[in-house]
Homo-oligomer: A and B are copies of this chain.
């Protein structure tokens, strides 16, 4: 009742870092859409560990779709995607079974479940984001056929900042295609340097991911608690390490005047646009036809290789912990396709729900 989301398209994620498999179940996909396995695998590869910048744990993350397709197309039945956990070294985690890593879920999962799979963080591991990407990759292929594109980039790593998307004119050609998902090459270099420095100091660093969804028609999302922002935020906080979500001008809007923050409407060729996009594409929770723009704050990886203070859950004594295992010095880079996945799945869910608006009568 918690590792799933969605109303019309239900996404369920399962697996633990060291279980036999992880996977995703998609219930409610529309039928008749071809899913290209090569394109899906290429998307999965964007999340995989990068040389030097990521964990030493490397896996093929081969996605196997065992139901929900017929002759290569979605057939309306639930789609189950499986990924084997291959490169598992459980012995690394004996230390943390009862010595919870600071700012990780080791402690809270112990309090909640008492008996839980502590290996590699169990169900709380960043490893689960591979399953999110398997689901998201499917959603992206379906959205593309409707002219809807989802892209993201790393906006900030530590003190290194990239330029944001142009919130009004961003187009799919702007989405990063290089190995490191920054918009400008110079920002990419500075960001890599931040990561490598942190890594060399046995430390980690945080970042911000910015995402744009293009082509969402106006009128998607529901009032109050069922809006575009509510759904995206609820689901984005399901990505491990996310600690903040903002749309459009977001927190910076606190300093602004209404006259500065308001997005003027104008008509062109019978369509309505806004001149600016401080709203991030939605008013009152409902899309306005402009790009949906949001940013996600990713905390620095909790698993650092420096001595840390914790407690021994068996003895109740304070304890100095030096963890082992394989961890990314910065999660934000690999979080880019994960954020895209959550966005794609959420938007597809909202779009399916918006079809019922056809019952609304004009005047």
Task: Kindly state the separation between the CA atoms of A360 and B73 in the bound complex, as whole angstroms.
Answer: 11
A253 contacts B206, CB within 8 Å? yes
Question: Contacts A105-B286, A124-B223 known; A67 to B21 CB distance under 8 Å?
Answer: yes
User: Is A302 at the interface (CB under 8 A from chain B)?
Assistant: yes
User: Is A63 at the interface (CB under 8 A from chain B)?
Assistant: no
Closest residue on chain B to residue A280 by CB atoms: B243
Contact with B along A9-35 (1 / 0, CB 8 A): 110111110011111010110111100
Task: Kindly state the separation between the CA atoms of A265 and B111 in the bound complex, as whole angstroms.
Answer: 14
- Distance in angstroms from A282 CB to nearest chain B CB is 7
Task: Tell me the dominant secondary structure on chain A's binding face.
Answer: mixed
User: Is A218 at the interface (CB under 8 A from chain B)?
Assistant: yes
A76 contacts B123, CB within 8 Å? yes
User: Is A61 at the interface (CB under 8 A from chain B)?
Assistant: no
Question: Contacts A13-B78, A20-B67, A224-B13 known; A206 to B237 CB distance under 8 Å?
Answer: no
A2 contacts B226, CB within 8 Å? yes
A234 contacts B225, CB within 8 Å? yes
A258 contacts B3, CB within 8 Å? no
| Neighbour of A308 across the interface among B100, B111, B112, B264, CB < 8 A | B264
A249 contacts B299, CB within 8 Å? yes
Question: Contacts A82-B66, A205-B257 known; A4 to B225 CB distance under 8 Å?
Answer: yes
Interface window among A163-171, A175-183, A267-275: A267-275
Question: Contacts A233-B237, A256-B205, A361-B114 known; A4 to B10 CB distance under 8 Å?
Answer: yes
Task: Kindly state the separation between the CA atoms of A229 and B238 in the bound complex, as whole angstroms.
Answer: 8
- Distance in angstroms from A257 CB to nearest chain B CB is 5
Number of interface residues of A (CB under 8 A): 163
- Distance in angstroms from A196 CB to nearest chain B CB is 13
In the complex, which residues 261-311 of chain A have their Cβ closer than 8 Å to any Cβ of chain B?
261-267, 270, 272, 274-275, 278-280, 282-289, 295, 297-304, 306, 308-311
In the complex, which residues 184-209 of chain A have their Cβ closer than 8 Å to any Cβ of chain B?
198, 201, 203-208
- Distance in angstroms from A138 CB to nearest chain B CB is 14
User: Is A316 at the interface (CB under 8 A from chain B)?
Assistant: yes
A30 contacts B361, CB within 8 Å? yes
Contact with B along A84-104 (1 / 0, CB 8 A): 000000000000000010111
Task: Kindly state the separation between the CA atoms of A66 and B33 in the bound complex, as whole angstroms.
Answer: 28
Task: Kindly state the separation between the CA atoms of A331 and B242 in the bound complex, as whole angstroms.
Answer: 27
B225 contacts A256, CB within 8 Å? no
What 10 A-B pairs are tightest by C-beta distance, nearest first? A105-B284, A2-B226, A32-B361, A2-B222, A244-B246, A234-B234, A30-B359, A204-B258, A77-B123, A108-B286
Between A and B, 15 residue pairs with Cβ closer than 8 Å are A2-B223, A8-B353, A12-B78, A21-B66, A31-B361, A33-B361, A74-B115, A76-B112, A105-B285, A112-B219, A204-B259, A206-B256, A229-B242, A237-B285, A244-B251
